[in-house]
Amino acid sequence: MGSTAPSHATCYSWYGRFSRREIHLDEAPRSGRPCSTETDIVLASVRNNPSQSLREMERTTSAPRSTIHDILRRRRFRAALPAVIPHTLTESERWVRVDVCRKLLDRKQTVVWTGFFIAQDEKWISYENPHTKLQWLPIDIRPVTVAKHGAHNKEEVISFFFCSAGCFTMRSYMRMLL
C-alpha cells in the first residue's frame, strides 16, 4: 500500500465501528476539558506573565507541562532572554576608573613595570547577580530590554595585563618580582 493509505489499526477501528452499525463519521464525545479551553487558559497565562517558567504555568493552569509546551510551540512562541542594554558611564564612574588606574600606576614605582605592557583589560566582578528570566514571546516579537544594574559597593575589579610573556594579573606580577 502507499504512504497515504490508513494504517492497519485505523482499518480495524473503522471495521469495528461499521460492524456495530455506527454509520456516522463524526467523532464521539469525549470526557475532559476541550483542547480550546486549555489553549485559551495557557495563552492568557502567558499574556499575564510572559516571564514565568513552564512549571509555574503548570501550577497556575493545572495543565501538564508537555501540553503547555506543545501549545506554545504550535502558536509559535519561543523562550527568549531579555536583551541587556550596556550601561553608559556617568562622570563619577569615569573618575572612579581613572582613580583605579592611577592607584595601579603608583603602586610600584621602584621597578619599571609599565615598560613592557602591550595591553590591559579589566573585569568587574559583581557579588549581586540579578536573575534574568526567560520570556515566552511570539517568534516575530523581540524580547523586552532590561537595563544593566547600576554600580554598587559589592563588586571588585580584576585587571589583566598582556605582554609578550603572556597574560597575568597584578597579584601574579608582584609574586614574580619577589
**DSSP string over 38-51:** HHHHHHHHHHH-TT
Residue type, 19: S
Please tell me the distance from the alpha carbon of residue 53 to that of residue 65, in angstroms, as a whole number. 10
Q: Which helix (H) or strand (E) holds 125?
A: strand 119-126
CB burial readout 34-53, b (16+ within 10 A) else e: eeeebbebbbebbeeebbbe
pLDDT of 59 reads: 92
pTM: 0.45
Q: What string of pLDDT tens digits covers the 178 residues of the chain?
A: 677 888 889 889 888 888 888 877 777 777 776 667 788 899 999 999 888 889 999 999 988 999 999 999 999 999 888 777 666 667 888 888 888 878 777 766 655 665 556 676 766 666 665 666 788 888 888 887 776 666 555 666 677 766 666 666 555 444 444 4
Q: Which helix (H) or strand (E) holds 93?
A: helix 91-107
Question: Under 8 Å CB-to-CB from 138, ≥6 apart: which residues?
Answer: 75, 76, 77, 78
pLDDT of 88 reads: 62
Please tell me the distance from the alpha carbon of residue 72 to that of residue 39, in angstroms, as a whole number. 9
The answer to whether 160 touches 125, Cβ cutoff 8 Å, is: no
